[in-house]
Amino acid sequence: MQLHIPALISDLAVMMLTAGIITIVFKKIKQPLILGYILAGFLMSPYFPLFMTLEDTEAIHTWSEIGIIFLMFHLGLEFNLHKLAEVGSTAIVTTIIQVIGMLGLGFGAGQLLGFSMMDSIVLGGMLCMSSTMVIIKVFDELDLKKKKYSEAVFGTLVIQDILGIFMMVILSTISVSQNVSGGEVAAHLALMLLYLVIWLILGIYLIPTFMNRNIQYMNNEMVLVVSIGICFGMVLLADQLGFSTALGAFLAGSLLAGTIHVERVEELTMGVKDMFGAVFFISVGMMVDPAMIANYALPILVIIAVTLVGKVVFNGLGLLLSGQNIENSISGGLALAQIGEFAFIIASLGMNLGVTSDYLYPIVVAVSVITTFTTPYCIKAAPWMVGFVESRLSDKIKNKLSRYTSPEQQDEEQDNEWYDYIKLYFFRLLVYGGLMLVTAIAGVTLLDPLLEEHFPDMPSRIVTCVFIYSVMALFVRPYLNMHNNLFTSLWLKQNSFHLPLIVLNSMKLVVITVIAMIPLWTLFAVHPIWLAFLVTLALVVLSKKGFMATAYLQMEARFLRNFNERIIAQEERAGHHQTWLDEKLHMMSFVAPEGAEYLNIKLADLHWGYKYNVYIVKIRHGEDRSQTILPDSTMEIHAGDKVYVTGEEKALQNFYALTSLTQTKPLRTLKKFMSIDYPDRENSLSVCAIKIYGDEDFAGKSIRNSSIREKWDCLILGLQKDGYPIIMPDPETLLAKDDILWVMGSVDNVGQMAAQFVNLAD
């Protein structure tokens, strides 16, 4: 008796064999494999009856959705959040100009071609995105990755990927909010974005911790299963929250991308991705209807022209305005002149959600295929195009451009204090502000109704408010972050910087006051904003309490360690293990002049640690030349004393400016300072790294309560938690097992402390 083979198996046999043969041909003729898959799909589609047609198209459609999930998962594995943090202003400026230009061109073209409003908007959004896969392949084949403009191109692609994710969020929001007003759609979108931030934060906190604690029990098979489980778990969660499944897969990959296990995960899941990805691109080809393409030949040609011309012009203009020279700008613009796989992933999503019309999908696929084919020729034409443009420019314009632009712009922009400050500012605003906002919303919408089922209204509301404000107090301190070195440096650099810095910090206060208003307004119908301001002040005071600071610092250390896990591992592989402190911290010394405002004041009252982020580690007294290592808080500085101060380089530079001291010699790192032989052993400083094994009497205590200063007369300059360095840690930081302390003191005191720890270890 002959067994009947299910249609799906026979379909897969036809698909894989056809795709395999065609992609071999495409590889020989040096064309992108994606085009081979699309052609294979077209040959097996109902629109090409001369070849075998697949039977179970519904199952193939399901497999293609799985293909999207794995493609987005692997795109996430190649994209970690550090890439976004490292993107320079060139990529940001280029993307902004290109997005504005292509959105306008795409929308205008769609309206002229008779598309609906939504189709025109989505078309404009899809035209903003170039193909990462195609550009990487072409750059590899033409050996262009070392070109200066390649860094700007890849940075722009990172921002475009974020744009694609944002479009997925918008499409998902519109699909579930089609029967509500515009204001409600905006509110729903804002809430979904907020969920997205919290989701990322929790993922960074939990996923690396889970992987690290269990990786010792996993062989390759288990890593594969767990990784795919995390991927589909995030997909399920995304669907429950109203996001697209593709977005969930991308975020799962991006969270794993920050771990030290990403290379192993990527290698083990590559085969699965390649198979299901091939099915997806084949399914794309199956939807290419020649009749529909013929009917929409004019729109396709128009959109191709808009894509090629618009992306060259707007990307080139963006690169030029960001400071790139003419050659880099034109070459980068031509490299980005296509729309890729991300565009028709979004087109497929829009069609499946019922947000866009069916005809948009084959149009976008046709445009993508043709512009993918033209990309290598556009890049090869760059030298001719550069020569043509430069020959048409007058000498006057060339001179102006040479003064404004630079071929080294991508490197020069890395040292921009405003750029670094803005990145830090919005990171804290988004992360900590988002956490506090979600706490407030969750408290009034979830906790209060739950409590009211068991308790009277007023007590339940009071308990809800106490819970909300207690959690918010954990994050107020890092959210405000008023005393950071970048802020101080910018404040001192120019008086014109004072107003924008004040405005930015005032915005923080306004945001937290509005968040603090939510429980009062919702639960007690309290409207006066000054009450919320008083609550905010109370939160600031509460956040400074020791137990609050300790709880937050523990969470932050774990979060930052997970977030930087991969970078830490790379540093260790490069041989930089445990060498961060003596290179990061610097030493300066100065002789206190007559009339200085800090003379004859107790060190505790100067608050230099809090104000300037520096430590006074040694004072050599004026006339008697006696010396004090690690002076206590009751000591004073007198005229003629030589004071030794340590801190990060930026903090010491700010300290010079704030105390009106003149820097007469370059700052030295601790490593260089300690390498100098000092004849007076009793008064010479020493630094040592000591590991905590858990048996010490201060293990599990905060730095403030550790008694290290009192018992050994040593100062904790920094510590390392699971490989993550914390320089000049907060006094409320908890000292835990396996932490590595960097302590400073006299040679004898540090030696005695180190010896005792060695004995404990033995």
What is the domain partition of the chain in residue ranges? 7-404, 417-544, 579-676
Query: Per-residue pLDDT tens for 497-513?
Result: 777 778 888 888 888 88
Query: Token digits for 64?
Result: 């293609």
Average pLDDT, integer, range 606-614: 81
| pLDDT tops 60 at residue 411 | no
Band the pLDDT of 1: cuts 50, 70, 90. very low
Average pLDDT, integer, range 242-258: 78
Q: Which residue has the tokens 């580690």?
A: 617
Task: Please state, in angstroms and rounded to a whole number, the distance separating the CA atoms of residues 705 and 721.
Answer: 18
Taking domain 7-404, whether its CATH number is 3.40.50.10380 is answered by no
Query: Token digits for 213?
Result: 């604690």
Amino acid letter, 702? S
Quick one: pLDDT at residue 182?
A: 53
| pLDDT tops 60 at residue 2 | no
Band the pLDDT of 151: cuts 50, 70, 90. confident
Quick one: pLDDT at residue 69?
A: 86
Band the pLDDT of 181: cuts 50, 70, 90. low
Asked whether the beta carbons of 251 and 195 are under 8 A apart, the reply is no
Task: Please state, in angstroms and rounded to a whole number, the distance separating the CA atoms of residues 339 and 734.
Answer: 51
| pLDDT tops 60 at residue 96 | yes
Average pLDDT, integer, range 217-232: 89
Does residue 167 or residue 43 have the better pLDDT?
43
At residue 602, what are phi and psi to the nearest 5 degrees?
Answer: -60, 140
Looking only at the bridges linking them, the beta strands covering 715-721 and 724-727 are antiparallel
Quick one: pLDDT at residue 543?
A: 59
| pLDDT tops 50 at residue 414 | no
Helices 341-352, 148-176: inter-axial angle, 10-degree rounding: 0
Band the pLDDT of 193: cuts 50, 70, 90. low
Does residue 298 or residue 390 have the better pLDDT?
298
* Full-model pTM: 0.64
Distances (CA, A) of 734 to 111, 432, 474, 554, 739: 61, 21, 15, 7, 10
| pLDDT tops 70 at residue 199 | no
Query: Per-residue pLDDT tens for 512-550?
Result: 888 888 887 888 776 666 676 677 777 666 656 555 555
Asked whether the beta carbons of 11 and 56 are under 8 A apart, the reply is yes
Average pLDDT, integer, range 633-657: 86
* Weakest-pLDDT range from 245-249, 363-367, 533-537: 533-537
Query: Token digits for 687?
Result: 């630094």
Task: Please state, in angstroms and rounded to a whole number, the distance separating the CA atoms of residues 413 and 419.
Answer: 9
The most confident of 194-203, 210-219, 675-684, by mean pLDDT: 210-219
Pick the CATH number of 579-676 from 3.10.450.50, 3.40.50.970, 3.90.226.10, 3.30.70.1450: 3.30.70.1450
Query: Token digits for 41?
Result: 């799909």
| pLDDT tops 60 at residue 179 | no
Asked whether the beta carbons of 312 and 377 are under 8 A apart, the reply is no
Task: Please state, in angstroms and rounded to a whole number, the distance separating the CA atoms of residues 379 and 374.
Answer: 9
The DSSP secondary-structure symbol of 396 reads: H
CB atoms within 10 A of CB 92: 18
Longest dimension (CA), the chain: 109
Amino acid letter, 211? M
Quick one: pLDDT at residue 305?
A: 92
Task: Please state, in angstroms and rounded to a whole number, the distance separating the CA atoms of residues 23 and 35.
Answer: 8
Distances (CA, A) of 59 to 25, 47, 48, 63, 353: 28, 19, 20, 6, 18
| pLDDT tops 50 at residue 322 | yes
Residue 237 CA to chain centroid, in angstroms?
21
CB atoms within 10 A of CB 104: 13
Band the pLDDT of 74: cuts 50, 70, 90. confident
| Mean confidence (pLDDT) of the chain | 78
| pLDDT tops 60 at residue 576 | no
Task: Please state, in angstroms and rounded to a whole number, the distance separating the CA atoms of residues 706 and 43.
Answer: 73
Quick one: pLDDT at residue 184?
A: 58
Band the pLDDT of 38: cuts 50, 70, 90. confident
Calculate the CA dihedral of residues 408, 409, 411, 412 and round it to 10 degrees: 110
Quick one: pLDDT at residue 306?
A: 92
Band the pLDDT of 261: cuts 50, 70, 90. confident
- β-partners of residue 629 are 618
